Amino acid sequence: MNPADFALWVYLSRTPLLWLTLTLIVYALVDSASQRLHRHPLANPVLHSMWIIGAILAWTHTAYSVYFDGAQFIHFLLGPATVALAVPLYENRAIVARALPPMLAALFAGSIIACVSAILVAKWLGTPKAVLISLAPKSVTAGVAMAISQSMGGDPALTAVMVISTGILGAILVTPLMDFLRIRDYRARGFAAGLAAHGIGTARAFQVNPVAGTFAGVAIGLNALLTSIIAPIVIKWLIH
Amino acid sequence: MLVNFAILLTCQLLGEISAKALALPVPGPVLGMAFMFAALMLRDAIRRARPNFTLGHDVETTGRNLLSHLSLLFVPAGVGIVGSLDVFEKYGIALAVALLVSTLLALLVAVMAFRLVSRLMGETP
């Protein structure tokens, strides 16, 4: 790089504009590839955008905090987007109201299994106690999961990694698993996706079917509520 | 568009305030979803009484536009964990196996419970 180019790079790399623009461009490219691959589960737009951007940051020696100065404008929209989940919920309110008993059954069974099975498998494989606590709330939306982890003596940063990994894993697994089980009920498929894989699972559900997305959105809220009650009990019972 | 966005943010703000004030274990935006739902019901109730009421008549369009790129909104947080993936190295394969098994089980059990109760209610898919 000659000095003039370098000066331009130093200037641009410190403004939010560069990293905001990069995030949008990478996502737009990845998303159009995902569309061309007919939304194949492995062509998950979150997964591929994040490693490509991560590689660019590593290659340019850019700190995450510098990147986030730009990307925070996108991150901020998660709040209003969560509020906007009320729109499909309102439009499908008759279907959702009728499905209340199956939703509650799926909520209790799925929420307990998500928490208990993660702890038991990791414990069996010899994972230390503090890590088990950080792992327990991994199916819940990040803010709630980190709060649970912190209050029980876990590491919220580790929990965030577990939550996002679970979201991507769930978003990739849900379609092949449901097709394998021959489940054609998009209410059930969507609810399971939102319960096991929070917002990233919900984003996947909306790619597949609007009713699935609606039920996934309901599951995020209900599971946040239930896990914040049961996770502390399960942690005390299985770990302490 | 501008008014619609203000409506969404107002609901989020109400959600944040009530979550903090009542010390609820639910995130503010999730409560905001409930406020938005109530706002939509209220809007349609007013519209039935006064057909020329137009506030938020197309808030659905803004909501749907935001949701159409829901995946994008997780990218900044996702990039944040790329640098922390060494935790999987540190704690061996145990964490990855635990995540895989429990995510599969949660999906499986949730969908089975849903279908079972739905069938008991006499519904066909």
Long-range contacts of A87-90 (CB under 8 A, 24+ apart): A87/B36, A87/B40, A87/B59, A87/B60, A87/B63, A87/B64, A87/B67, A88/A210, A88/A213, A88/A214, A88/A217, A88/B63, A88/B64, A88/B67, A89/A214, A89/A217, A89/A218, A89/B33, A89/B37, A90/B36, A90/B37, A90/B40, A90/B41
Long-range contacts of B10-18 (CB under 8 A, 24+ apart): B11/A83, B11/A86, B11/B35, B11/B36, B11/B39, B12/A79, B12/A80, B12/A82, B12/A83, B15/A83
Instruction: Give the residue from A119, A176, A130 showing the smallest Cα distance to B102.
Output: A119
Q: Which residue has the higher pLDDT, A105 or A11?
A: A105
pLDDT confidence of residue A4: 77
- The answer to whether the CB atoms of A45 and B72 lie below 8 A apart is yes
- Split at pLDDT 50, 70, 90, the class of A1 is low
- The answer to whether the CB atoms of A64 and B80 lie below 8 A apart is yes
Interface test with B, best of A34, A82, A182, A211 (most B CBs within 10 A): A82
- Split at pLDDT 50, 70, 90, the class of A143 is confident
- Given a cut of 70, whether residue A137 has pLDDT beyond it is yes
Mean per-residue pLDDT, B79-94: 83
- The answer to whether the CB atoms of B98 and A122 lie below 8 A apart is yes
- The answer to whether the CB atoms of B75 and A50 lie below 8 A apart is yes
- Given a cut of 80, whether residue A240 has pLDDT beyond it is no
For residue A109, the chain B residues in CB contact (below 8 A) are: 109-110, 112-113
Interface test with A, best of B13, B71, B118 (most A CBs within 10 A): B71
Mean per-residue pLDDT, A136-147: 92
Q: How far apart are the CA of B99 and the nearest CA of chain A, in angstroms?
A: 6
How far is it, in rounded angstroms, from Cα A86 to Cα B34? 7
Interface test with B, best of A24, A83, A146 (most B CBs within 10 A): A83
Q: Which residue of B has its CA nearest to A167?
A: B103
- The answer to whether the CB atoms of A45 and B113 lie below 8 A apart is no
Residue with tokens 């790129």: B69
**DSSP label of B25:** S
- The answer to whether the CB atoms of B82 and A54 lie below 8 A apart is yes
Mean per-residue pLDDT, A131-153: 92
SS (H, E, C) chain A: CCHHHHHHHHHHHCCHHHHHHHHHHHHHHHHHHHHHCCCCCCCCHHHHHHHHHHHHHHHCCCCHHHHHHHHHHHHHCHHHHHHHCHHHHHHCHHHHHHCHHHHHHHHHHHHHHHHHHHHHHHHHCCCCHHHHHHHCCCCCCHHHHHHHHHHCCCCHHHHHHHHHHHHHHHHHHHHHHHHHCCCCCHHHHHHHHHHHHHHHHHHHHHHHCHHHHHHHHHHHHHHHHHHHHHHHHHHHHHCC
Mean per-residue pLDDT, B60-74: 94
For B99-110, the pLDDT digits (tens) are: 999 999 999 999
Mean per-residue pLDDT, B4-25: 94
For residue A127, the chain B residues in CB contact (below 8 A) are: 91, 94-95, 98
For residue B118, the chain A residues in CB contact (below 8 A) are: 99, 101-102, 185, 187-188
Mean per-residue pLDDT, B72-87: 89
**Residue B73 · residue A202 · CB < 8 Å:** no
**Residue A98 · residue A215 · CB < 8 Å:** no
pLDDT confidence of residue B23: 87
Count contacts between A and B (CB, < 8 Å). 329
Segment among A173-177, B51-55, B117-121 with least mean pLDDT: B51-55
Q: What is the pTM of this model?
A: 0.92
Tell me the average pLDDT of chain B.
92
For A53-90, the pLDDT digits (tens) are: 999 999 999 999 999 999 999 999 999 999 999 999 99
For residue A200, the chain B residues in CB contact (below 8 A) are: 71, 74
Largest CA distance in chain B: 64
Segment among A79-83, A209-213, B20-24 with least mean pLDDT: B20-24
Mean per-residue pLDDT, B40-57: 92
Facing B116 at nearest CB: one of A67, A80, A105: A105
- The answer to whether the CB atoms of B33 and A225 lie below 8 A apart is no
- The answer to whether the CB atoms of B62 and A84 lie below 8 A apart is yes
Q: In sequence order, which residues have a C-beta less than 8 Å from that of residue A9 and are 6 or more positions away?
A: A1
For residue A168, the chain B residues in CB contact (below 8 A) are: 78
- Split at pLDDT 50, 70, 90, the class of B84 is confident
Six-digit token pair at A76? 């901020």
Q: In sequence order, which residues have a C-beta less than 8 Å from that of residue B91 and are 6 or more positions away?
A: A127, A128, A131
Residue with tokens 């190295």: B89
Segment among A41-55, A105-119, B74-88 with least mean pLDDT: B74-88
pLDDT confidence of residue B125: 55
Q: Rg of chain B over CA atoms, in angstroms? A: 21
- Given a cut of 70, whether residue B17 has pLDDT beyond it is yes
Interface test with A, best of B3, B4, B30 (most A CBs within 10 A): B30
Percent of the residues in chain A that have a pLDDT greater than 90, as a whole number: 87
How far is it, in rounded angstroms, from Cα A175 to Cα B22? 38
For A93-133, the pLDDT digits (tens) are: 999 999 999 999 999 999 999 999 999 999 999 899 989 99
pLDDT confidence of residue B124: 65
